[in-house]
Amino acid sequence: MKKAILSLMFLVFFIQPGFSRAPFTEFKIGYFYPEDTDHGYLFGINAGRMIDESLSWSFEINYFQKGYKKITKKEDLYFGGIQPQQAELELEYRTIMLPLYAKLNYEHPIAFKSPIYFRGSAGLGWEMVWNKANNYQVTPSTHETRFYNGFGWQATAGLGFEISSSANFFIDGFYNGSTVKRNSKTNDEGLPTWEELNVSGFGARVGISIVGFGW
């Protein structure tokens, strides 16, 4: 609860000064290495408004998905002049991660009137993770979906490059910090228990920022 209150205070403090400033929207794609899940591609949108020439606030939503299928190939078949293989799906799973952040962003040219600028950001928010697994190797087959959620934070640093009067290309490195939980309860001994998943990790991404486009 304390972390949720801190997140709300972050939103209220940084959103109010910027409503009259110019909007911007960033479109991002990258690769993420979380601790307790397989690594994979990450897609994101970051939209907000400028506070002054260097500072801005924004909301960012990211989408991460990683899937796996265990397929066994059987003996070759021969039918009508072709020789296909028979395949069996034994196991499949899919992990979806949806981090939501309120962010404070900083940008500044590396030199006077330089088209290259340093950029960095810090954000607080909430992480949601869905894990769906289907096991066809057992009888009857099992199908289970687990949902985890919890507080998260993000820090980024990178470089931007002006490519037009209203668009910039950027390269960022980032770190997401979060441990999400589910199934909180009390065991037979009266002790609180839960399942947790560490989705903290480093990543890198590239994207386009469009100034004047957004809400």
Q: Does the structure show a pLDDT above 70 at 6?
A: no
| Token representation of residue 180 | 């999400």
Measure the CA–CA gap between 174 and 180, rounded to whole angstroms: 19
Quick one: pLDDT band at residue 4, thresholds 50, 70, 90? Answer: low
pLDDT of 12 reads 47
Determine phi and psi for 106, rounding to 5 degrees: -130, 135
- Which residues does 161 contact at the CB level (< 8 Å), separation at least 6? 115, 116, 168, 169, 170
| Token representation of residue 50 | 């400028």
What's the sign of the alpha-carbon dihedral 61, 38, 65, 199? negative
60: buried, middle or exposed (CB in 10 Å: 19+, 13-18, 0-12)?
buried
Cβ density class 112-149: b for 16+ within 10 Å, e for less: eeeeebebebebbbbbbbebeebeeeeeeeeeeeeebb
pLDDT of 162 reads 92
pLDDT tens readout for residues 167-183: 999 999 999 999 999 98
Give 22's DSSP letter.
P
pTM for the whole structure: 0.80
Percent of the chain at pLDDT > 90 equals 57
Residue, of 131 and 191, whose pLDDT is higher: 131
pLDDT of 18 reads 42
Quick one: pLDDT band at residue 150, thresholds 50, 70, 90? Answer: very high
Contact 205, 31 (CB under 8 A): yes
Average pLDDT, the chain: 86
Q: Where are the alpha helices (DSSP H) in 75-215?
A: none
pLDDT of 89 reads 79
Measure the CA–CA gap between 178 and 197, rounded to whole angstroms: 9
